[in-house]
Structure 1
């Protein structure tokens, strides 16, 4: 299998060594020192607060060292964690838990409650400062990736079909620290590594993969200073759901199930309703103005009410600003031949003749979706989730996908809305919705919400 892109001949001269072979990219390495400095600053801030407020020195004297040591035990300074920036919240909280346990043990053997009191007072400060500083640093790293800096050049090893899928995921995954610079078969790996000057080799699963091959690759790549990465069998699995578990001396990959129980989602529901209520209050003048403009633009009500399928298959009435003429539903059957998705479950027409002048503007800027904040306040929808579909479209979906989709509330925004909206093919939209359901987390919701304004401004697939 030939390499996909970069070879010795097209590698810039400045990136080659004296022997003409490509040099390893040093930009993909994330410096550890800034993270150590930020975590030390977080501990010093907490220590200073204890010293100023309580005038006691034992906890300020040991907290910085204990804090850095506990973070190190949680792998907070390993390169793959620094590059990916995933699960920061879990690692920092786990480190705080270790310090709290150590303080509890020390308090058990020492008189007085000052030690435990001061530790429990300082830890929330250290956690907050560390998370804020780490978040800012990761944002700068990702901004560099978006500008094409500090990308880790990866050689992909595996069957042609799997390589194509994997490289497409890298390309479409938004901010990513890996750049696929070539692909090859297992027997050509070492030669391709030397030709491309890659920083890492990603091995995809397949029947050809065995322990002897991986062991040989590991030794060869170590000699070349190249990282070896193994892709899991399942795609679209969040890193937080994967863990290596040693069993009888063998490293087995544990795949944790999706978070579908109601208890972990209670904070999400409360936050959804609170933010939606605040949004309605702040946006009420704009909502009234839009309603007036819609009524003046064309005959019919300002709001469009339509039945949609929600959590556990229960139907509810979706609210939107009306963007089509009043007889749009009656004209739908006559326009079936224009459906860009063919005769599939989804229905969408580019330049739909039923859309009004004001409606086109509202759709482009997603302003027609704002009344759905009422659905969120009522508990029928969430701020983030799969888009709510009409019953007739849900019936046409594959049974397994339909069942998974109904395990969560539909949302105002979601993965496929921030990844291309209506321009995405049906299979990709279903894949993204399934990925959201299976890999849901608060961090994923926050990332989607952060990407939503950009998707609205770009207007891609908004019609």
Structure 2
């Protein structure tokens, strides 16, 4: 935890230095760094499980700021208390912003693998093998979670033995017949003595924390699962933002799109735009626009290349080195520039900036009925979870799972996170072919 203590102290020192430069007072610079770190410690901001990013960390930092402000308010009774309170209230917002920024930067370095796992929490999974395998695959797909699985145990006794031998910071318990209330209570006491966190995995996976609420009923802590909020009213801000941003994007990118259109026409015979019917909101079809990246006879040659389809003999069709792609088309696909005309679809209200992948009718019909209608509850998107998670390198089942994950857990915050990750996914070019 030492790096976080140092970062928090640095944030407080910077805020204090600002006060010193502006007002020339030494009281706050002398007291704030120690008081800031102490209040964060009181709010349990240095416990291992509290160092994962999220709203809990923000609440702890804000509560620590409230504690410092309350202590400074008590100084109002002193002769120079007004000045002390003024300086403290000036420095606190700076300290809060810098603390959260430095903590996030530190966590980003850890998640990026620069520390080769030395600062990641080592987790032991206990539960049925099948459930453990699913959980581990989830954690591997999301390295930003900060957890590294170091072992799997089938029973509590095995987990206790592993914990006693050391080597883990947390234990993740999965629902199963071998994990009753008595076993979990025994495990929690054993972990308490060794300062190891115990985390209980829910039965449902791919559920955003915002949809879960811990509700006490008859003395029992019951987990309440809220349904997805996909009402028309909740989508109004998203609709407005989509159309405004798409229109602005079209204006700014018009010269680039015009240049691409000319290059496509010069590279091979045929139109600049490729039009294809796709299934949109509530099953209504629309014409999706893309820059043409293949020769005109691409559809006719599809049958002769069927054996190379990486998705087998299903409706999904993708080839890693497709000979039907033109020279310019290969560059456009590499940088996802062929998708730019879809801004017209977004501006027209047929698509969204973020959403599930737009499917042709034949591919949509291949999906199970329940999966198909759930995907159609929102508009398809120009970007989405699967696009920023590996694109064409993902298996078909994984792409469908990510699309459903988006629909079930949609929120404005999720859209913003996906949009923030989209440029990085384009630059990495993972699965872009």
Q: 1:38–1:133: 8 Å Cα contact kept in structure 2? A: no
1:5 corresponds to: none
Moved over 6 A (4+): 38-48, 67-78, 92-96, 121-131
Q: Which structure 2 residue ranges, 5 or more long, are not aligned?
A: 24-35, 71-89
C-alpha change, 1:446 and 1:461, in structure 2 (3 Å) is same
1:386 corresponds to: 356
Q: Does 1:174 align with 2:143?
A: yes
Instruction: Please give the secondary structure, in 2, of the residue aligned with 1:290.
Output: helix
Q: 1:46–1:126: 8 Å Cα contact kept in structure 2? A: no
Q: Does 1:452 align with 2:422?
A: yes
C-alpha change, 1:369 and 1:398, in structure 2 (3 Å) is same
C-alpha change, 1:151 and 1:89, in structure 2 (3 Å) is closer
C-alpha change, 1:89 and 1:258, in structure 2 (3 Å) is farther
1:290 corresponds to: 260
CA distance in structure 1 between the aligned counterparts of 2:338 and 2:421, rounded to whole angstroms: 19
CA distance in structure 2 between the aligned counterparts of 1:360 and 1:434, rounded to whole angstroms: 29
C-alpha change, 1:440 and 1:271, in structure 2 (3 Å) is same
Q: TM-score, normalised by structure 2?
A: 0.80
C-alpha change, 1:433 and 1:131, in structure 2 (3 Å) is same
1:162 corresponds to: 131
C-alpha change, 1:146 and 1:388, in structure 2 (3 Å) is farther
CA distance in structure 2 between the aligned counterparts of 1:148 and 1:132, rounded to whole angstroms: 21
CA distance in structure 1 between the aligned counterparts of 2:114 and 2:276, rounded to whole angstroms: 42
Q: Which structure 1 residue ranges, 5 or more long, are not aligned?
A: 1-28, 53-66, 103-120
Please say which of residues 434-443 and 286-295 is displaced more in the overlay: 434-443
Q: Does 1:345 align with 2:315?
A: yes
1:415 corresponds to: 385
1:328 corresponds to: 298
- Pick from 346, 368, 371 the counterpart of residue 341 of structure 2: 371
Q: Does 1:302 align with 2:272?
A: yes
Q: 2:16–2:91: 8 Å Cα contact kept in structure 1? A: no
1:87 corresponds to: 55
CA RMSD of aligned residues (A): 4.2
C-alpha change, 1:188 and 1:125, in structure 2 (3 Å) is closer
Q: 2:250–2:343: 8 Å Cα contact kept in structure 1? A: yes
Larger RCO (alpha carbons 8 Å, 6+ apart): 1
2:183 corresponds to: 213
Q: TM-score, normalised by structure 1?
A: 0.75
C-alpha change, 1:90 and 1:177, in structure 2 (3 Å) is closer
Report Cα offsets for 1:212-237 as digits up to 9, x if no partner.
00011111111222111111111111
CA distance in structure 2 between the aligned counterparts of 1:241 and 1:45, rounded to whole angstroms: 42
Q: 1:310–1:388: 8 Å Cα contact kept in structure 2? A: yes
CA distance in structure 2 between the aligned counterparts of 1:269 and 1:88, rounded to whole angstroms: 30
2:73 corresponds to: none
Report Cα offsets for 1:310-330 as digits up to 9, x if no partner.
111121111100011223334
Report Cα offsets for 1:282-335 as digits up to 9, x if no partner.
222211111001001111110111111111112111110001122333443454
Please say which of residues 311-320 and 30-39 is displaced more in the overlay: 30-39
1:119-198 mapped onto 2 (5 Å cutoff): 135-136=104-105, 138-140=107-109, 142-143=111-112, 147-186=116-155, 187-198=157-168
1:21 corresponds to: none
1:254-273 mapped onto 2 (5 Å cutoff): 254-273=224-243
Report Cα offsets for 1:354-376 as digits up to 9, x if no partner.
22221122111111011111111
2:79 corresponds to: none
Q: 2:110–2:146: 8 Å Cα contact kept in structure 1? A: no
